[in-house]
Structure 1
Amino acid sequence: MRFSVKHGMYPLKSLLILSLCLSCNGSPKERENQRSVKPNIVFIIADDMGIGDLGSYGQEYIKTPHLDEMASKGMRFTQFYAGSTVCAPSRASLMTGQHTGVTHIRGNGEFPLRDQDTIIPQLLKKQGYRTAMYGKWGLGVEGTSGSPEKKGWDEFTGHLHHVDAHYQRPDSLWTLTDGMVKKMPVPANSYGNDIFTRKALSFIDGQTEEAPFFLYLSFTVPHAELLVPQKYLDMYLDEQGDSQFAPESAWPDGRHYGGQPFPKAAYAAMVSSIDDYVGQVMAALKRKGLDENTLVVFTSDNGTHIEGGRQRSDVDFFKSSGVYKGVKRDLYEGGIREPFIAYWPGTISANKVSDHTGAFWDILPTFYELAGGSADYLNTTGISFVNELTGAGTQEKHDHLYWEFYEGGGKQALLKGPWKAIRLKVKQDRNAAIELYNLSEDPSETMNVAEKHPEIVKMMDSVMRVENTPNPLFSFDR
Structure 2
Amino acid sequence: MRNRRVFIAVTGVVFALVSTGASFAAKAERSGKPNIILVMADDQGWGDTSYNGHPFVKTPELDAMAKDAFVFDRFYAGAPVCSPTRASVMTGRNPNRTKVTNHGRYMRPHEQTIAETLKAAGYVTGIFGKVHLGSGQPDSPCNPSGMGFDEWVIGLNFFDNDPYLSRMGKIEHRKGKGSVILMDDTLEFLEKHKDGEQPIFTVVWFPSPHDPHAEVPEGPSLYKGKPHAGYYREITLLDQQVGRLRRALRNMNIAENTIVWYCSDNGGLVKETSGGREKKGSIYEGGLRVPGIIEWPARKLKGRTSVPVATFDIYPTLLSLAGVELYAPHPLDGMDVSGIITGSVTKRSKPMGFWHQLQRGQGTRSDQIQKAIMEKQQAGAPLPHDSVRMRKDVDEFPQFPEETTTGHAAWNDWPWKLHRIKGTKFELYNLSDDPMEKTDLSKNPEQAQRVKQMQQELDAWMRSVIRSINGKDYQESK
TM category (shorter chain) comes to 0.7 to 0.9
Conserved? CA contact 2:218–2:237, under 8 Å = no
Task: Classify the secondary structure of the residue corresponding to 1:356.
Answer: coil
Alignment map for 1:241-280 (pairs within 5 Å): 243-245=224-226, 264-280=228-244
Q: Which residue of 1 aligns with 2:449?
A: 455
Conserved? CA contact 2:84–2:96, under 8 Å = no
CA spacing shift, 1:472–1:214, aligned 2, 3 Å: closer
1:118 shift after superposition? 1.1
1:401 counterpart letter in structure 2: M
Further displaced range: 141-150 or 124-133:
141-150
Alignment map for 1:1-400 (pairs within 5 Å): 35-100=30-95, 102-109=97-104, 111-141=105-135, 142=137, 143-160=139-156, 162=157, 165=158, 167-176=159-168, 181-187=169-175, 190-206=176-192, 207-208=194-195, 210-229=197-216, 231=218, 234-236=221-223, 243-245=224-226, 264-305=228-269, 315=270, 319-322=272-275, 324-350=276-302, 352-375=303-326, 377-379=328-330, 380-391=332-343, 393-394=344-345, 397-400=348-351
Task: Classify the secondary structure of the residue corresponding to 1:465.
Answer: helix
1:378 shift after superposition? 4.8
1:104 shift after superposition? 2.5
Q: Which residue of 1 aligns with 2:473?
A: none
Per-residue CA distance 1:284-319 (angstroms, 9 max, x = gap): 0001111110111110000012xxxxxxxxx25xx3
Conserved? CA contact 1:56–1:68, under 8 Å = yes
CA spacing shift, 1:394–1:182, aligned 2, 3 Å: same
Task: Classify the secondary structure of the residue corresponding to 1:370.
Answer: helix
1:422 shift after superposition? 1.2
Instruction: Tell me the TM-score normalized by structure 1.
Output: 0.77
Distance in 2, Cα, partners of 1:445 & 1:152: 40
Q: Which residue of 1 aligns with 2:433?
A: 441
Distance in 1, Cα, partners of 2:469 & 2:414: 31
Tell me how large the CA RMSD over aligned residues is: 2.4
Per-residue CA distance 1:183-226 (angstroms, 9 max, x = gap): 12223xx2211110111122222212622101111001111111
Further displaced range: 196-205 or 217-226:
196-205
Distance in 2, Cα, partners of 1:42 & 1:442: 35
Task: Classify the secondary structure of the residue corresponding to 2:229.
Answer: helix
Conserved? CA contact 1:233–1:265, under 8 Å = no
Conserved? CA contact 1:299–1:341, under 8 Å = yes
CA spacing shift, 1:231–1:35, aligned 2, 3 Å: closer
Per-residue CA distance 1:40-66 (angstroms, 9 max, x = gap): 111100000000001111112000011
Aligned residue pairs, count: 392
Conserved? CA contact 1:131–1:152, under 8 Å = yes
Distance in 1, Cα, partners of 2:177 & 2:253: 29
5+ unaligned residues in a row in structure 2: which ranges?
1-25, 361-405, 471-478
Distance in 2, Cα, partners of 1:455 & 1:396: 22
2:231 counterpart letter in structure 1: Y
5+ unaligned residues in a row in structure 1: which ranges?
1-19, 24-31, 237-242, 249-263, 306-314
Task: Classify the secondary structure of the residue corresponding to 1:223.
Answer: coil
Per-residue CA distance 1:345-377 (angstroms, 9 max, x = gap): 131343x01122211111111122233322375
Q: Which residue of 2 aligns with 1:467?
A: 461
CA spacing shift, 1:330–1:135, aligned 2, 3 Å: same
Distance in 2, Cα, partners of 1:233 & 1:269: 11
Instruction: Tell me the TM-score normalized by structure 2.
Output: 0.77
1:112 shift after superposition? 2.0
Task: Classify the secondary structure of the residue corresponding to 1:118.
Answer: coil
Task: Classify the secondary structure of the residue corresponding to 1:328.
Answer: coil
Conserved? CA contact 2:308–2:414, under 8 Å = no
Q: Which residue of 2 aligns with 1:423?
A: 420
Task: Percent identity, please.
Answer: 31
Distance in 1, Cα, partners of 2:467 & 2:177: 38
Q: Which residue of 1 aligns with 2:407?
A: 410
Q: Which residue of 1 aligns with 2:397?
A: none
Distance in 2, Cα, partners of 1:128 & 1:159: 27
Conserved? CA contact 2:161–2:178, under 8 Å = yes
Distance in 2, Cα, partners of 1:233 & 1:446: 40
Per-residue CA distance 1:201-260 (angstroms, 9 max, x = gap): 222222126221011110011111111136367133xxxxxx242xx6xxxxxxxxxxxx
Task: Classify the secondary structure of the residue corresponding to 1:415.
Answer: strand
Distance in 1, Cα, partners of 2:121 & 2:236: 35
